[in-house]
Structure formats: structure tokens, C-alpha cells
Structure 1
Amino acid sequence: MTQTTLHTDIVIIGAGIAGLWLHHRLNDMGIHALLIENGQIGQGQTLSSQGIIHGGSKYALNGVLSKAAQVISTMPARWKNALNGEGDIDLRNVKKLADHQLLWSKDKLSSKMVSFFASKALSSRMQRVDKQEAPALFQDAGFKGTLYQLDEPVLDIPSLLTKITEKWHSRMLSVPNNSQYHWQRSGQQLESVQIGDITIHAQQFVLTAGEGNEALLQSLSIKQPSMQRRPLQMVLCKSQNPNQPLPTIYAHSLGSGSKPIATISSHKTQQGDTVWYIGGNIAEEGVAKSQDNLITEAKQLLKNILPWFELPALDWATHAVNRAEPKQSSLTRPDNAFIDSQQNLHICWPTKLALAPDLADQVLRAINVGFIEKQTYDNPEFPHPELAKPLWDRVF
């Protein structure tokens, strides 16, 4: 077997949004960063997301501005700057599905009270929408609830992946899916990693592989931090008749509790069909349910939250995904992006799509970029990973 040796300043393992954002920033700064992927770009949690750039609204629906809501509150502005070509990285030409999310309450006092408290806690980011200015779906006379606009854009993730990948794709290395990672140390510092017939030397190593971090930590014999999985079973549906497409909607349906009953986002297949991708409480509570039972529940849910709208005949599917995060007590949700630095190894989980810029900030501080000895590397050609297919074109 012929051995190939590569040299770089920083190795990043995992080409989800966290690794991609960090990789782009580092290379733009003149630091040679090599991103390693053992599958396809964005194939895990990134392409399983709804594309929502959360600003904390759904974490404050009980009227309390929680720590999670405060941590994530600046992220929509960070992303908007990037989308305008004025941020950390240039995301101009990324397709925005919506400038704002919506939130609607059912016609019950309890729902209206929750909406009221949420609007007070988030008055600068959550505003009432008059019926005449609402999307057509909510202008219907049958809609008796209240509609709010949230200052949280929704992005087309395939478009985002295309844009964030193209500039530095030549510095992304594709390795086989079943690759074993063998690490070499010099004292307490990592010196290189061998993956199959490729050995990579670097000054710093960053793990951004989501669920894949678990196996990477095992290969390093590291027990802490450990990882948790919080599973979801999302629901998808699309009209059986292309002439009766589902309306476009990006919204949370709010019931009497402090969590959305459902979060619906709309996405186009390659054939141009509109797919509703449904998360929220139904996805969290549907983990242990069979596909048939969850779909039956979802049909009833849509009738309950959109009673005035007559749904066309639909095709249905479900999608299981694990949210990979640093382990918390009682499997609770972490409040922010996470990094644990051990010498020149940095173990990361972004915890949310929206927090990718914040995680990159933390990594840049941890590696102390001003002290990176920038070098010019003349590496041999190597294989590059491809973009994963969008979820909507895989499940139907």
C-alpha cells in the first residue's frame, strides 16, 4: 500500500455546518485548514434541519427569556450579515426560503396567554401580524387565532452547502466511510492522524463530526467529554397531485404549553413539488412510535391546527435523526455551542445550526489563531467529498 503524507495547519474532521463554517473562516484568514469527511457533505444533522436560523423565540414561549434564548439571540443578525456579504464569510447567493418565521396560536385563551407573554419577552423580535398582511393561508375567514412574525430567517440548506463549500473545496479530503483513525502524539500534543493510507500532520485538530465524534473520541481513548443523542422522528408530506400543491408555510403552531405543537417548513423537490417538513413536539414525542402510527397522528394534528384548510391527498414519510450533543444531566438540551480543548485537540458540538458562527468564534479563541505558524503546503492531489442529496429527494 502506497502511503500519502499531507501537511496542514489545522485538521477539521466532519463536514457538517460547524466544520464547514470554521473551515471557511480559517482559510479566509490565510490559515491552511484541511476538512476531512468520511461520507458526503452535510449528510447528517445539517441536511436534516429545517433551515431555521433560530433567535431564541421558541425558548421563551413561557414569557421568560431563558439562557438558551439569550445565547442564540444574536445569531440571526450574524447570519443576515453573511447573507449580505458583510459577515464572517460571504454567503451571498444562498437562497432564503423566508425572511421571517411565523407563529400562530389557536383560538383558545390559554394559547393567547402564552403568545402574550412571549411577545412581551421578545418584543423586539416578535410582532403581531395583521390579518390583511398575513400569508393567504392565514387570511382565510376560518382562521380565528393570532399570528406573529418572528425575526428568524429560513435558509435553503442545499443552497447553503453549495455556497459554503465551493471556495475551499480543494482543501476538503474524502476518506472511506469505514476508515479507522490512528493518532500519533509527541508528548501530550497530537502530531498526526493516519486514516487508511493517508497520514496528516497538523498543529491543531478539531472534531466537528456530530454523532461521529463518539467514535473519534474512542479512537483517542478520551472518555470526557462524552456525547448524548436526543432523537427526533420528523414527518414529511407532499401533495399527490402536482396541480394541488401544498401552500408554502414557515411557522410554529402554538398550543397551551410552552413548546410549539408543530413546526412546519416548506421545501421543493427536484421535480418542483412542495414538501412540508414537520418538527416540534410531534417529532420529539414520535421517537418510539411506528411510522404508521406517527403518520396517523400527524394527519390528525394538521386537521387540528389548520381546521379551516382542506388538505389535498398526501404522500407521507418519516425521518429519524439524532441531535448529537455533549452529555447533559437528564438528557436536557445544552444552552449553547460547546467546545472542550485538550492541548491541541478541540472537541466540538454546535448543538444548533444557527450557532455555527458562535462555535467558530470559540474555536478561533481556543487555538489562538495569532500564534498559528502559517505555512505554504505543496500537498499531492487527493479525493474531495461530494454534497449529499437533499432529504426531500431521498424519502419520496
Structure 2
Amino acid sequence: MAGPAPIEQVRADVAILGGGICGLWTLAHLRAQGYAAILCESGELGMGQTLRAQGIIHGGLKYALDGALGAASQALTAMPARWRASLQGERAPDLRGARLLSPHQYLVAGQGWGSRLAGLFASKLLQGRVAALDAEQIPEPLAAALGPSARHAVYQLEEPVVDVPSVLESLAHANQEALMAITPEATRLRYAAGHVAGVDVQGPSGQRLEVLCEQVVLCAGAGNEALGRLMPTGAAPMQRRPLRMVMLRGALPDLYAHWLGAGTTPRVTVTSHRDSAGRAVWYLGGALAEAGLDREPLAHARAARDALATLLPGVDLSACALAVLDVERAEGRQAAGLRPDGPVLHHADGVTLLWPTKLAFAPLVAEQVAARLAQRGVRPGHQPLPDTRRWRRPAVGVPPWDEVTAWH
């Protein structure tokens, strides 16, 4: 009977476990600085939270609707410009191969919001990031829905929307030689003198690899909970916040918009996408997604369609196919389960566990990981990239509209 596959040993500066947007962006950022970094993924790149995001690069405006730029808003302020620099090839990582779905979004004010928003958005802190639109500037189908009341009802937010699969493809293509497909069962952290010394992984064909490194970065979303238990100190506390997202598929115009209701959380957020057959899909988030958890999924989808129909009476939604997708957001634990204001990073003995909180924060997380390496005295340029050509590369996963098979 054959014994276990022999263990191959390689050296690197950093080993990243988890191939979502933060893992891939961190990999690209570290390699651009000269670090020998590899990324291990046990499934498909982006599976879980990343591919289920709407692709909005938030700039914090929706968190400033209470009249103050709080911690969440301030943390997000620089992210749209940072992403644009990469999308235009002006800054690493070069994302010119990724698709920009829309350079901006629209914010539709509910009753009673007009004068409040006009005063808020006139502040110097927000100038250049938002603009009130005159009636003739408002795109269809918003103009048709609002009619004569459109004045001071629609604002253009300078927050881009990206096609998430193409971002992942761009990052993966540029870093193919540093990506490794692994199985999760055999992964373990290797320690020496109380400090991480590497990580042991196993490939889909049973081959085993010991990566000796200075830092291990765990960015596997909900998977961090299990990976963190491999640490002597145990896992950092994590929380899960569920959503019930709705999708509509049919003859739909492109639309990227938030509608405000009574509170500061958008009543509904719509982004537009195309499935693998080229069909238009609206992906619905916002408070609507949070409110649907207590409903039967199809009933929730129908209620969401009906609510949207009242907001956009000029768009016929009656023939649209409906689908529901439950999404579980994994985050660093906060008091009372509140949403974190920014990324949450936990450092212990050469291991970093991180939760980005939002897709938009990927560049900031990568910079924080690099700063941690510098703080620990781990300098780039000492290790060549390990030769992992014999290992299978993980593929990019599919987006929600192609993942879901139960359309009604």
C-alpha cells in the first residue's frame, strides 16, 4: 500500500490563505513591492462574499446622511479614487483588464429629504463627490418615475460600480504563478518558538507542500473561523450578518441607484449586470435585503419586485424572472453585532486574520498588511518566488446570476 505523498518544501515571505478580493489584491500589492508571496485557495477565486457583492466602490456618502461624516464614511472617502487609479492603469495593481459597469451611481431622495440633502451635500467635505441633477440631466427610467418632482430629488454620486468577476480575472491573470489550488482538510499552521514558521497545504491530487514563510495572512471570510482555530491563541472573534438578495432577469435598462426611505439606510439599491447568456439582471440590495430574512424566499422576491415597481412605474417588471440568494457577511466581531466602520485585522504571532467589511476596502487592507510586515522587520527582496508550476491554479468562480438555478 502506497504511503502518503512526500512533502515538498518551498520558501516565501508571505503565504495568503483565501482568494477573495482582499486576498488577491493583497497578493498583487505585496508582489509589486518585491515580496515573494503566494496565495492558496481551497475552492474558486471569489467564492462566497466577493462574487456576491454588488460591485459598488463606496465612498462613504450613504453613511453621512445623518449629517455627519462618521468613522465609516471617513474610512471610505479615499476608496473610489484609489480604485479608479488602478482601473486606469495609473497605480498597481493594474486593472485595465477589468470592466467598469458605471462611473457613478444615483441617489433618489425620498419625501422630506430634498432640503436636508441639499444642505449636507453643499458642505466642503463633500464637494466634488456628489452633485444635484437638474430635471433634464436625470436619466431614464428615473426621470419618468419622478416626473415634475424631479428637481432636487436625484443626486449623482461619484462612486463607481465594477464588474467583480472581471476584477478577479484581471488580478488572477497577472499573478497566475503565485496561485495554488489546495484542499482545506490538510491545511495547518507550522510554528517554531511560539511564532508562525509556515503553513502546510495539500493539493487536489494529494501532493503536499510546506511553505516556510515569515507571515501568514488569513482572509478566507467565514472560513477564517476554522483557520483561526489552528492558531495557539485560537480564532479572533467573528460575526455573521445575513442578507437575502433578490435578482430580476428580463428586458431591463441599465440602472445603478439607491432609493432613500425614512431612515439613512437606502430602501433599495439596484445594480445592473449581464449573465453568461447576455441577459440583463438587476441585483437588489439595501434595507430590502436585510428585511427579507423572515420571509419565505419567493414571497420576498415578489414583494421586492412589487416595491420596485412602485418606484419605477415606467418599467414593466411583470415578465421578469425572479431569484433569491442568501448571503452571509463575515466580519470581525463588534459590540451588539454592529457593522464595523472599516476593515478588521487581528495580528498574533506572525499570523494576520482579516475581514475587509466591504469590497471597496481591498486596497486599504493590502496596505495595512504591508505595513504590518514592515513593522515586523520583514523586508522584500530576500526570497525568490517559489516554483509552483506543478500545482493546479484555482479558477474564478461564477457570479450569483449564473450560480442560481432556481429562477421563477
TM-score by length of 2: 0.91
State the alpha-carbon separation in 2 of the partners of residues 340 and 261 from structure 1.
33
1:375 aligns with 2:383: yes
| 1:259-298 correspondence to structure 2 within 5 Å | 259-298=265-304
Tell me, yes or no, if the aligned pair for 1:341 and 1:347 is still in contact at 8 Å. yes
1:385 aligns with 2:387: no
What is aligned with 2:215?
204
State the alpha-carbon separation in 2 of the partners of residues 291 and 306 from structure 1.
22
Q: CA deviation at 1:371?
A: 2.6
The percentage of aligned residue pairs carrying the same residue is 35
Tell me, yes or no, if the aligned pair for 2:36 and 2:380 is still in contact at 8 Å. no
Tell me, yes or no, if the aligned pair for 1:114 and 1:256 is still in contact at 8 Å. no
| 1:194-233 correspondence to structure 2 within 5 Å | 194-196=200-202, 197-223=208-234, 225-233=236-244
Tell me, yes or no, if the aligned pair for 2:198 and 2:215 is still in contact at 8 Å. no
Which has the higher mean CA deviation after the structures are superposed, 371-380 or 327-336? 371-380
Q: For 2:95, what is the secondary structure of its paired residue?
A: coil
Q: Deviations over 1:18-42 (max 9, x none)?
A: 0100101111222110101000001
What is aligned with 1:167?
174
Q: Deviations over 1:166-186 (max 9, x none)?
A: 11111111012x423222211
State the alpha-carbon separation in 1 of the partners of residues 68 and 14 from structure 2.
41
What is aligned with 2:247?
236
Letter in 1 for 2:48: G
State the alpha-carbon separation in 1 of the partners of residues 378 and 188 from structure 2.
29
Q: Deviations over 1:140-194 (max 9, x none)?
A: 2753341110010000111111111111111111012x42322221112111222
Unaligned runs of 5+ in 2: 203-207
| 1:302-381 correspondence to structure 2 within 5 Å | 302-368=308-374, 371-372=379-380, 374-377=382-385, 379-380=387-388, 381=390
State the alpha-carbon separation in 2 of the partners of residues 259 and 390 from structure 1.
25
State the alpha-carbon separation in 2 of the partners of residues 61 and 96 from structure 1.
26
State the alpha-carbon separation in 1 of the partners of residues 270 and 101 from structure 2.
13
What is aligned with 1:156?
163
Q: CA deviation at 1:225?
A: 2.3
Letter in 2 for 1:194: D
CA gap of 1:322–1:61, structure 2 versus 1, over 3 A, is same
Which has the higher mean CA deviation after the structures are superposed, 52-61 or 115-124? 115-124
What is aligned with 2:44?
40
TM-score by length of 1: 0.93
Which has the higher mean CA deviation after the structures are superposed, 5-14 or 118-127? 118-127
Tell me, yes or no, if the aligned pair for 2:104 and 2:157 is still in contact at 8 Å. yes
State the alpha-carbon separation in 1 of the partners of residues 237 and 335 from structure 2.
12
State the alpha-carbon separation in 1 of the partners of residues 395 and 165 from structure 2.
12
Q: For 1:214, what is the secondary structure of its paired residue?
A: helix
Unaligned runs of 5+ in 1: 240-244
Letter in 1 for 2:163: D
Q: CA deviation at 1:372?
A: 4.3
Which has the higher mean CA deviation after the structures are superposed, 74-83 or 220-229? 220-229
Tell me, yes or no, if the aligned pair for 2:298 and 2:324 is still in contact at 8 Å. no
Q: How many residues align?
A: 388
Aligned counterpart for 1:180 among listed residues 186, 195, 198: 186
Q: CA deviation at 1:89?
A: 1.4
Q: Deviations over 1:53-72 (max 9, x none)?
A: 00001111222211100111
State the alpha-carbon separation in 2 of the partners of residues 234 and 188 from structure 1.
43
Which has the higher mean CA deviation after the structures are superposed, 159-168 or 301-310? 301-310
Aligned counterpart for 1:96 among listed residues 94, 100, 123: 100
RMSD across aligned positions (CA): 1.8
Q: CA deviation at 1:344?
A: 1.3
| 1:118-137 correspondence to structure 2 within 5 Å | 118-120=120-122, 122-137=126-141
